Amino acid sequence: MQNVMNMKVILAALAGAVTSFLSGWVIYGMLLKNYMDANTLEAARSVIRPDEEMIFWAIFAASFFWSLLMALIFTRWAGISTFKTGAIAGCWVSLLIALGAGFYSYSMLNLHTLSYVFVDGLVNAVQGLLVGGVIGWVLGVGNKA
């Protein structure tokens, strides 16, 4: 039974990673690209890779590890195994982590505007809702009601 659960966690993390990668591309790379660029300070522009130099496997790896963290939280401590409960938990976890990291960055680094911190938090909440929902759904597949 433990091996089945471990495989389910890995599959849920992979499904979450695909959801995160694709939703990040649409939201950050297309819908909010101009806004994010406009709210990135000049000092940060020299360290941000141009689109053609992005390392996509590393973006996917980051998406996988965040999704794995969420899948582990859901299975080991929260008992989450539905789309709805995963979406709610994913939204909260993502929002709070993004705002915490955003305010740390804002307080110590000259990277983004304060507006960027809030918008990034909201975008992470939306992504967390989607990713958490998918992870919760995958974790619940095959469970007896």
Q: Which residues pair with 112 in a beta bridge?
A: 40
For residue 61, give its domain range. 2-140
Residue 145 lies in a domain: no
Residue 16 lies in a domain: yes
Question: Can you tell me the mean pLDDT for 66-86?
Answer: 97
pLDDT at position 82 is 97
- Whether residue 4 is predicted with pLDDT greater than 70 in this model: the reply is no
Question: Can you tell me the mean pLDDT for 65-83?
Answer: 97
Residue 133 lies in a domain: yes
Residues 113/41, Cβ–Cβ less than 8 Å: yes
pLDDT in tens, 94-123: 999 999 999 999 999 999 999 999 999 999
Residues 17 and 24: their CA atoms lie apart, in Å, by 10
* Number of independent structural domains in the chain: 1
pTM of the model: 0.93
pLDDT in tens, 8-55: 999 999 999 999 999 999 999 999 999 999 999 988 888 889 889 999
